[in-house]
C-alpha cells in the first residue's frame, strides 16, 4: 500500500498541561496522509481551547459529551476511524521525529496487519519529586516479523512482557480492519478495563504475524497523571491518586475469575492484568486448558516484586476462590522466580549496551517534545557507532525458538 492513511488518537481528560507538548510531537510529523484525533473525555480545563488553538487541518477534536471510563473513551475515539491504520498514544506520551513516515515504510515493506516498536522512556519533571526530566533511548535498529501465537504464549508464560505484543498503544500501529474483525466477533473492541493490555492480547489472538521494530517510534511518558505508574508503584502512598481515581470510576468490570484486592484495588501485577485480558478475550480463541488458573497463579507469583506482599495477599484470595493449594503454588513460584531472574541478567546487560540516557539538573528535559527532539538527535549520532555491538548482542540473546519467522538485520 502506497502512503496508507494513518490516524493517531490521543485520548485525554483534564491534562492540558501535558497534552499540548504531546500534540506538538504529532503535528511535527511531515507524513502527508496523517490524521490526528484528540478524544476529550469531558474535560473541565482548557483542553478544548488548547486543541482548537492549533491551526493544523489534520487535527480533529471530539468530545464524549459526558464523563465515561477510559476504555469507553478509547472505544469512542476508535469509532471515528473507518479506514487505514491507527495508533493510540497517551496524553503525556510522544512520537519520535519522522515516526509516521517510518511506519508507512514498514507497511510497504511487509505483509502484516500490525506493527509494534520499542519505545524511549521519559520521566516528566515532577515525577517522584524530580525537577528535571529523564530520557532513555534504545539504540537498536532493524525489525523482525513475529509469529503472534508464539509470542502470546511467551507472554502468558512470563518470559516476555505484554509490550512485546502488537498492542494498540504507544509504539503500536494496527490496520483498522483487524479491530473491525475483533469487534465483529466480540461485540466491541474493548472488553477489559485495562485497554492497553487487552489490545495486546486480543490483537495477538487474531492475527497470524506482526512486525516488531527495534527502532523506537514512540516515547512512553510517565508523568504525575500516569495511571499505570501509580498503579504498579511498590509504595502505595506514591502518586497514588491517578490509580485510585481510575479504580473508583465506573468501568468494565474486572473478570469474575480474578478477585480484587481486599481494599478494592486491582492486583499490583502486570501478569495478572495479562491473564485478566486473556480471560476477557476468550471468545477469540479455543477453550482454556483445565489447569490454567493454577499455572497462571504460579507465574503471577513468580513474576511479582520480591518485597511486595500485596500480591501474596491477593494470591491467597485467588487460590481460595478456585480451590487451589496456595502454599504449594507459592513454593513452586519461588523456584520459578530464580529461573526468571537468571534469564533476565543477559537482557539487562543487553539493555545497558543498547540504550543511552540523558537528562539532569544541568541538562534538563522540560517536556515530552524536548525529549522527542533529544531522542532523535541521540539516535542520529550514536546508532551507527553501536550497530556492530547491537548485532552481536542480539545474536547472543536470540534463542533458536524465538518465534521470529523472518529477520531483517541492522543496517549501518
> Using CA atoms, how far apart are residues 155 and 175, in angstroms rounded to an integer?
22
Q: Using an 8 Å Cβ cutoff, are 94 and 170 in contact?
A: no
Locate cell 491534562: which residue?
15
**Residue 225 grid coordinates:** 497523571
291 vs 209, more confident: 209
Q: Judge whether residue 234 has pLDDT over 60.
A: no
Name the least confident of 97-111, 242-256, 272-286, 352-366: 242-256
Average pLDDT estimate for 7-18: 96
23 against 410, higher pLDDT: 23
Give the closest residue to 156 by CA, choosing from 201, 122, 96, 105. Answer: 201
- Residue spans of alpha helices (H) in 130-210: 148-156, 176-186, 195-204
Q: Residue 246: pLDDT band by 50, 70, 90 thresholds?
A: very low
Reduced to 3 DSSP states, what percent helix, strand and coil does the chain have, rounded to the nearest 5? 45, 15, 40
**Pairing mode, strands 59-63 and 114-123:** unpaired
Q: How confident is the model at residue 277 (pLDDT cuts 50, 70, 90)?
A: very high
Count CA atoms closer than 13 A to 22's CA, side-chain side.
32
List, for residues 309-356, the tens digit of each pLDDT value. 899 999 999 999 999 999 999 999 999 999 999 988 988 888 888 899
Cα separation, 93 vs 296, whole angstroms: 31
The domain spans of the chain are 1-253+264-286+358-412
Instruction: Give the least confident one: 6-15, 122-131, 192-201.
Output: 122-131
Angle at the Cα of 333 from the Cα atoms of 328 and 338, rounded to 5 degrees: 140
What pLDDT shows up at residue 2? 72
Q: Is the model's pLDDT at 79 over the cut of 80?
A: yes
Class of the CATH domain delimited by 1-253+264-286+358-412: alpha beta
Q: What is the pLDDT of residues 370-408, one digit of tens each?
A: 999 999 999 988 655 545 444 444 454 455 544 443 444
Q: Which residues pair with 120 in a beta bridge?
A: 219
Cα 300 from chain centroid (whole Å): 19
Give the per-residue pLDDT at 230.
43
Amino acid at each position: 500500500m502506497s502512503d496508507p492513511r494513518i490516524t493517531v488518537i490521543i485520548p485525554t481528560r483534564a491534562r492540558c498541561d501535558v497534552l499540548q507538548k504531546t500534540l506538538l510531537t504529532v503535528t511535527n510529523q511531515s507524513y502527508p496522509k496523517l490524521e490526528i484525533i484528540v478524544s476529550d473525555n469531558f474535560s473541565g480545563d482548557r483542553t478544548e481551547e488548547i486543541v482548537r488553538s492549533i491551526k493544523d487541518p489534520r487535527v480533529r477534536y471530539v468530545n464524549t459529551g459526558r464523563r465515561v471510563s477510559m476504555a469507553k473513551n478509547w472505544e469512542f475515539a476508535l469509532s471515528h476511524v473507518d479506514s487505514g491504520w491507527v495508533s493510540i498514544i497517551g496524553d503525556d506520551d510522544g512520537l519520535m521525529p519522522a515516526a509516521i513516515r517510518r511506519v508507512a515504510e514498514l507497511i510497504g515493506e511487509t505483509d502484516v496487519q500490525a506493527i509494534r516498536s520499542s519505545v524511549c522512556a521519559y520521566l516528566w519533571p515532577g515525577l517522584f519529586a524530580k525537577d528535571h526530566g529523564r530520557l532513555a533511548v534504545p539504540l537498536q535498529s532493524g525489525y523482525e516479523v513475529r509469529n503472534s501465537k508464539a509470542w502470546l504464549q511467551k507472554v502468558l508464560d512470563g518470559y516476555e512482557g505484554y509490550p512485546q505484543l502488537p498492542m494498540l498503544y504507544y509504539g503500536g500501529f494496527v490496520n483498522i480492519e483487524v479491530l473491525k474483525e475483533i469487534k465483529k466477533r466480540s461485540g466491541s473492541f474493548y472488553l477489559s478495563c485495562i485497554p492497553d493490555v487487552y489490545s495486546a492480547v486480543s490483537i495477538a489472538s487474531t492475527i497470524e504475524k506482526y512486525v516488531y521494530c527495534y527502532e523506537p517510534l514512540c516515547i512512553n511518558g510517565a508523568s504525575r497523571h500516569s495511571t499505570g505508574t501509580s498503579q504498579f508503584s511498590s509504595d502505595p502512598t506514591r502518586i497514588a491518586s491517578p490509580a485510585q481515581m481510575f479504580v473508583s470510576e465506573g468501568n468494565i468490570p474486572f473478570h469474575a475469575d480474578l478477585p480484587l484486592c481486599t481494599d478494592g484495588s486491582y492486583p499490583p501485577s502486570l501478569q495478572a492484568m495479562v491473564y485478566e485480558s486473556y480471560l476477557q478475550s476468550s471468545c477469540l480463541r479455543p477453550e482454556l486448558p483445565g489447569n490454567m488458573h493454577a499455572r497462571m497463579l504460579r507465574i503471577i507469583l513468580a513474576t511479582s516484586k520480591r518485597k511486595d506482599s500485596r500480591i501474596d495477599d491477593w494470591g491467597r484470595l485467588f487460590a481460595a476462590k478456585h480451590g487451589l493449594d496456595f502454599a504449594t503454588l507459592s513454593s513452586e513460584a519461588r523456584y520459578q522466580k530464580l529461573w526468571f531472574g537468571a534469564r533476565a541478567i543477559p537482557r539487562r546487560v543487553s539493555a545497558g549496551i543498547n540504550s543511552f540516557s540523558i537528562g539532569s539538573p544541568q541538562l534538563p528535559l522540560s517536556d515530552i517534545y524536548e525529549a522527542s527532539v533529544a531522542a532523535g538527535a541521540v539516535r542520529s549520532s550514536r546508532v551507527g557507532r553501536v550497530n556492530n555491538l547491537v548485532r552481536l548482542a542480539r545474536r547472543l540473546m536470540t534463542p533458536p525458538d524465538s518465534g521470529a519467522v523472518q529477520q531483517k538485520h541492522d543496517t549501518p
